[in-house]
């Protein structure tokens, strides 16, 4: 059962956007997916409450007293959405479960600097999980994308791809939906940007 944790201690970088859409992808493929929300604000859990029953099912993950719980029986894929300011103790617990860690990161210098210490700390954890950085709200053809790739390469981590800034994610999230729940022609450019990260996750 693959477990993918989406982690960045900085808020507002797109963790929940990526987590919900990744869970939506797995569900669309017919998997029994669980979306775990380790954030006390329960953003992903609130999104699940909006999700229509007519769409592929995504199970929620109960977190009792802030503890990491067991996934529901029969689960085949797990996505864990984490909070800003993740404590070292909680990070360690999540890394013990995770097979892959995706770090969403925007290309601004402020976001990079705010995440730098975390990425170095993550590299020092003795974990079996593979770690990759995903550029969020980034145009892959810009200097900002080049700068992000250069910075991440210095840490010895791969850049998994870049997801553009688009209203598609916002509008779909408002209805508990993902890119994978609408006609591909409506989100063709966005789905194409997911190919590299999905290949890395599946490897």
- Where do the structural domains in the chain lie, given as residue ranges? 3-202
Closest Cα to residue 94, out of 125, 124, 52, 59? 125
Tens of pLDDT, residues 36-62:
877 656 678 889 999 999 999 999 876
Report whether 97 contacts 1 (CB < 8 A): no
Burial of 172 (0-12, 13-18, 19+ CB in 10 A): buried
Third-level CATH fold of 3-202: Rossmann fold (3.40.50)
Cβ neighbours of residue 64 closer than 8 Å, sequence gap 6 or more:
none
Report, in this order, helix, strand and coil percent for the chain, each rounded to 5: 45, 20, 40
pTM of the model: 0.91
Highest mean pLDDT among 7-21, 61-75, 78-92, 149-163: 7-21
Alpha carbon distance 173, 144 (integer Å): 26
Write out the H or E segment, with its range, that includes residue 5: strand 3-6
- The mean pLDDT value for 112-133 works out to 82
Alpha-carbon distances of 112 from 120, 177, 196, rounded to whole Å? 12, 29, 22
Give the tens place of pLDDT for each residue, 96-122: 889 999 999 988 888 888 888 888 878
């Amino acid at each position: 059962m693959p477990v993918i944790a989406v982690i960045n201690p900085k808020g507002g970088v797109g963790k929940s956007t990526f987590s919900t859409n990744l869970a939506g992808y797995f569900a669309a493929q017919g998997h029994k997916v669980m979306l775990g929300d380790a954030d006390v604000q329960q953003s992903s859990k609130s999104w699940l409450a909006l999700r229509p029953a007519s769409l592929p099912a995504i199970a929620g993950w109960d977190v009792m007293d802030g503890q990491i719980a067991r996934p529901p029986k029969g689960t085949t894929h797990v996505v864990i959405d984490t909070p800003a300011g993740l404590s070292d103790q909680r990070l360690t617990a999540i890394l013990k479960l995770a097979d892959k860690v995706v770090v969403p990161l925007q290309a601004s210098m402020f976001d990079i600097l705010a995440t730098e210490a975390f990425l170095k700390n993550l590299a020092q954890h003795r974990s079996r999980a593979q770690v990759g950085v995903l550029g969020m709200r980034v145009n892959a053809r810009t200097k900002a994308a080049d700068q992000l790739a250069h910075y991440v390469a210095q840490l010895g981590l791969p850049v998994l791809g870049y997801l553009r800034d688009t209203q598609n994610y916002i509008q779909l999230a408002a209805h508990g939906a993902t890119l994978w729940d609408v006609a591909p022609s409506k989100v063709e450019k966005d789905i194409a940007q997911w190919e590299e990260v999905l290949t890395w996750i599946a490897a």
